[in-house]
Structure 1
Amino acid sequence: MGNRLEGKVAIVTGGGTGIGEAIAKKFAAEGASVVVAGFPEDPVEQVAKDIMEQGGAAIAFSRDISSEANAKSCVELAVKQFGKLDILINNAGVFPEVNLLQDYTTEGFEYMLKNNIHSAFQMSKAALPELHKTKGNIVSAGSEAGMIGIAQNSPYGGTKGFIHAFMKGLAVEQAQFGVRCNIVGPGPIDTAWTHDSTGPMDSKMVKTMKEATPMGRRGTPEEVANVYLFLASEEASYVTGALYMVDGGITVAKGGVGTEADASMKKQPDGELELKHSKDGHTSIRK
């Protein structure tokens, strides 16, 4: 499609499903060599194969990157395979349950701490020495939940609030090394997480979510990947410590405004990527 990341090397965590698949394929289409990282049960091998079949460069990494040793191994693989590392995308995360806090399981909370916070910490720590060499950048997945807090999602929002503050702190301290750090905050996106058949939300929550979004629909994974692409590219050379919301306006909405959206806004764009795993990655099964 283009060359906005020509010659760059990127790691995309959570790259096998949902938004991660879109980021990996978007980056590859724009010239980047990509390490597609994910759990062993995620289709990271298939996503890497899809990229190579389209003429891109990719390799899969199938381990739990919340582990310090595995995070280091992921970075080492990128450097061994492609010679350097320019971009780290901390997209990996889980959304195990929706509950009032008094009913929220400790197991679910601990699972989120491991996969939403430890993974971003360990991958960022492991990647920074290489990013110093290339004057690279990190883009991490925040959330509308981390910005405004959401009922029945308060622990999840807490983990994303950490990511927002963590990346802003990194932006300040890492500028001396030439490394930019930013956050993308997705709202309701058309992945497994936002469907009652594949995620923890019930049908009432799904309906309310769409009605509360001024654009009256879920976003697509590719729409989110487009913002990651901008922030990872040289076009964002003067952007660091920023939080870019990709939420259809939900964080500024008042009431069920989505019902009033123009029909042109409610229609999802067709997109250009062939995404096979948008609805995969249901994370209620913990390990």
Structure 2
Amino acid sequence: MRRLEGKVAIVTGAGTGIGEAIAHKFAKEGAKVVVNGFSYDPVDDVVASIKEYGGEAVACCGDVSEEKDALKCIQTAIDQYDKLDILVNNAGVFLATAETQDYPIDVFDQTLKMNLRSAFVMTKYALPYLQRTKGNIVCAGSEAGFNGLAQNTPYGGTKGWMHSFVKGVAVEQAKYGVRANCYCPGAIDTAWTHKETGPMDAEMEKMLIEATPMARRGTPEEIANVCAFLASDEASYVTGALWLADGGVTVAKGSVGQQTPQQLRQQPQGELRLDHSKEGLANKQTQTIK
């Protein structure tokens, strides 16, 4: 199926990790994709890869928490494709693990800027165009927005904000034909959840897996599949939804993942050919504070 045939989508934070997978999935489903990321992210490589596999995409680098870059990103969609149907607010950061009394103020400020301000600014300036196309917004929530997150309480707080923001936008914008939803991942196989590439230590990494009934990380492609559904016309009656894709961690009690046999812990192979799923924290300073 090409469920997004003829649609134009912006995906923020699409140079690596989940965003890269969403950009590839949307292109495979027929969308024309504006691939956003920082200038040091492999955005051009993602665009080239999409084109190599027969999709259509254009790069737009910039920090979308800043108005000028958000406007540039939206204008790129209009200049290149003459409309905007889908906005995916995927951009965000996970920069430190520390108990709240030790959490650095500068990291707190940066987390709010990248996780919240980016989504607000992009939504604000995209809405006039989405109202014209009866389009939709899909935002990166998290199971941490339901459950909180020890050792990174500000991150969980930003996702709780995102959940409430999206529900408000969904109600407010329904009269214009615009839908808004969240995909809410658990631990996903990206740089964020590995001690070698992110701020989690070995204990936190182990606890994430053991608390998940499926006893494994999700893949970026599994989240991209959820996002593609929410963005498609198949979800025409879905708005204001917080769509959990967390391996069951939100409904679990205790280390239930230990009960799952090894043969059920294997990640699915998937179909998307992704090159940058583990590079989401490259060129970013992370901290593990004990």
> Do both proteins adopt the same fold according to a TM-score greater than 0.5, normalized to the shorter chain?
yes
Secondary structure of the corresponding residue to residue 245 of structure 1: strand
Q: Does the 8 A contact of 1:211 with 1:259 survive in 2?
A: yes
Give 1:128's aligned residue: 127
Give the aligned partner of residue 65 of structure 2.
66
Does the residue aligned with 2:276 lie in a helix, a strand or coil?
coil
TM-score by length of 1: 0.98
Shift in Å, 1:47: 0.3
Q: Tell me how many residue pairs correspond in the alignment.
A: 285
CA drift at 1:285: 2.0
RMSD: 1.0
Q: Give the secondary structure class of the aligned counterpart of 1:275.
A: coil
- Distance (Å, rounded) in 2 between the aligned partners of 1:112 and 1:245: 22
Given that 1:94 and 1:112 are in contact with CA atoms closer than 8 Å, whether structure 2 keeps it comes out as: yes
Instruction: Answer yes or no: is 1:212 the counterpart of 2:211.
Output: yes
Structure 2 CA distance, aligned partners of 1:16 and 1:144? Answer: 23
1:161 maps to 160
Residue in 2 that maps onto 1:8: 7
Alignment-derived partner of residue 184 in structure 2: 185
Amino acid at match of 1:285: Q
TM-score (structure 2 length as normaliser):
0.97
Instruction: Give 1:262 deviation, angstroms.
Output: 3.3
> Could you tell me how far 1:231 is from its partner in structure 2?
0.2
**In the alignment, which residue of structure 2 is the partner of 1:281?**
280
**Aligned AA for 1:168?**
K
- In structure 2, give the amino acid aligned to 1:252: V
Contact 1:195 1:201 (8 Å CA) reproduced:
yes
CA distance in 1, matches of 2:163, 2:139: 8
Conserved? CA contact 1:145–1:153, under 8 Å: no
Q: Equivalent residues in 2 for 1:1-287 (5 A)?
A: 2-282=1-281, 284-285=284-285
Offset at residue 73 of structure 1 (A): 1.1
Q: Give SS of 1:84's match.
A: coil
- Unaligned residue ranges in structure 1 (runs of 5+): none
Aligned-residue offset at 1:153:
1.5
Change in Cα spacing, 1:197 to 1:27, as seen in structure 2 (3 Å) is: same
Task: Name the SS for the 1:255 alignment partner.
Answer: coil
Instruction: Using the TM superposition, give the Cα deviation of residue 265 of structure 1 relative to its aligned residue in structure 2, in angstroms.
Output: 2.8
What displacement does 1:263 show? Answer: 3.4
Q: Structure 2 CA distance, aligned partners of 1:254 and 1:199? A: 26
Aligned AA (2:158): T
How far 1:264 sits from its partner (Å)?
4.1
